[in-house]
Amino acid sequence: MWQEQMPKLSKAVGVVFLVILLSRILLPSISPAFFDSPEYLRLFENANFFDSLRQVHNPIHPLFLLVFWLFNKVPLGTTLLRAEFLNGILGFLTMVVIYKISRSLIVTVFIAFLPYFWLSQVNLLYEPLLIFLLGLSVYYLKNIRLAALFFALAFLVSTTALIYLLPLLAWIWIKQPKKIPAAILTLSVYLLACGLIYSLITSPAGLFLNANSPLNKMMIKGWLFFPRVVRNMVVIYFNYLTIPLGLVCLWLGLRKKNLVLLLAWLVAFFLANSIWHAGMFGRLSLGLTILPVFLISQIKNRFFLAGLFLLLLVQSIKLVVPYHFQEIPYWQEKKAVANLAGDPLLIISNYEEPYLQGKFNYLVLNSPQTDEIKIRAAIVEAKNHQRTVLITPQVVTTPYFQYDGLSFHLLSQGQNHPETLGQKLMAEFDLETLMF
């Protein structure tokens, strides 16, 4: 049997899981911290769920929307608090599943306090539900029908679940090779049913050929697509695992020499990191980044493990805890804009747009739909009518130094050109900068 009986629950295990639970439910973010979060809040508050399905951007997340829309009916503080509380519970349950899969408290503790894994579970993102369902799919692999059902449900949370299909099949091939035909057939049937559900809501082009899809990126970037993805992979791997733990897991992975699983993981990691994601960059591969941590069960030196975990915990606390005490800059900006006198013309970055959408008049400088000629014409018209024109600090620096949560986006922390378009507009039209 590939999965042995679970170790008996002990007081130490109980204490560890209590700490994990408290770390999730006592430290919720006090503002919707990432790019899609404000949109999700609006969708959860709709009186009609089907209105939310019609309004959500592609690729849609129908099961995520349904679960959180229903939970928003629970009388528990604000919409944001309810959503983050549910994510905290899902995060805790995910750790229970990981403990059952790994049969290792050490592995469980390390994964629980990976910085971005922890951060995702105290914020409003769909990843906690996605990873919980993917974890159940792995845990129930002895029952292919049940495993396929949970994987299909994960697919209804996000189409990015398909990225995990190759590592899942590789694991089945290694542990239960005779079940591969049944697994492929059952998964195909369930995923086809999910595809029919998606087809009732949106078009296949909207799911797989949207602006962020790998296929679209390949068509736009050409051969540059590949070195940029490799760069993303390296940056995200060490940022999500931290450099010390990342190096240890890399060494253990190369030493393990399971070529099939390693190649499956690399292909999935490549696809997941092909996207410059504006909301917690790298989170599309969040579930994949936890897989190498399972390898640390091979390490028997307790002092080494304790030192490694201490380094990890310090890094995680520095990342996660500030979100509980400090609002992100875009949320502060939203409040500042709400207090502006008159009717100024705002020029904003697309990173800011989700926070101002539906409430303020603005033009977006660096969106795929940006029309520079239109923006210049609008500035001239506003100036001619003595209307104030305000440009945000993010527009001045875009595409560099763009906030992603409380920190700058991982790949925007540099400047390759002496002058940005925002700086040119400021100089050309003598524009004021919005201060907040």
Final residue of a structural domain among 277, 310, 325: 325
DSSP output for 383-423:
HHTT--EEE-HHHHHTTSS-EETTEE-TT-S---SSS-HHH
- Please state, rounded to an integer, the average pLDDT across all residues of the chain: 89
Please report whether residue 156 resides in a domain: yes
Q: What's the confidence (pLDDT) of residue 220?
A: 66
Residues 276 and 396 in one domain: no
Final residue of a structural domain among 325, 348, 381: 325
Final residue of a structural domain among 305, 325, 345: 325
Paired strand residues for 362: 346
Tens-place pLDDT, residues 139-192: 999 999 999 999 999 999 999 999 999 999 999 998 889 999 999 999 999 999
Distances (CA, A) of 185 to 136, 156, 267: 19, 18, 22
Residues 21 and 156 in one domain: yes
**266 pLDDT more than 60:** yes
Q: What's the confidence (pLDDT) of residue 93?
A: 98
Q: Residues 34, 36, 323, CA angle at the centre, nearest 5°?
A: 20
Rounded CA-CA distance 108/118 in Å is 12
First to last CA, the chain: 61
DSSP output for 289-353:
HHGGGGGGGG---HHHHHHHHHHHHHHHHHHHTHHHHS--HHHHHHHHHHT--S-PEEEE-TTTH
> CB neighbours of 37 closer than 8 A, spacing ≥ 6?
123, 124, 125, 279, 354
Predicted TM-score of the model (pTM): 0.91
Residues 280 and 363 in one domain: no
Residues 344 and 312 in one domain: no
Rounded CA-CA distance 99/247 in Å is 23
Per-residue pLDDT band for 69 (boundaries 50, 70, 90) equals very high
Rounded CA-CA distance 201/65 in Å is 13
Q: What's the confidence (pLDDT) of residue 6?
A: 45
Q: Outline where 45-143 has alpha helix (H).
A: 49-55, 62-71, 79-102, 105-112, 115-120, 127-139
- Chain centroid offset of residue 405 CA: 11
Please report whether residue 3 resides in a domain: no
Structure tokens at 176: 């239960």
Segments forming the whole domain that contains residue 353: 329-433
Please report whether residue 371 resides in a domain: yes
Q: What's the confidence (pLDDT) of residue 332?
A: 92
Higher pLDDT, 342 or 158: 158
**415 pLDDT more than 80:** no
Please report whether residue 1 resides in a domain: no
Per-residue buried b or exposed e for 325-344, using 16+ beta carbons within 10 Å of the residue's own CB: eebbbbbebbeebeeeeeeb
Residues 129 and 88 in one domain: yes
Rounded CA-CA distance 207/252 in Å is 36
**7 pLDDT more than 60:** no
Tens-place pLDDT, residues 207-232: 555 556 666 666 666 777 788 899 99
Most confident of 189-203, 312-326, 371-385: 312-326
Average pLDDT over residues 292-301: 94
Rounded CA-CA distance 136/139 in Å is 5
Per-residue pLDDT band for 1 (boundaries 50, 70, 90) equals very low
Of 434, 212, 252, the residue nearest 344 (C-alpha): 434
Of 92, 94, 44, the residue nearest 64 (C-alpha): 44
Report DSSP state, residue 63.
H
How many structural domains are present in the chain? Answer: 2
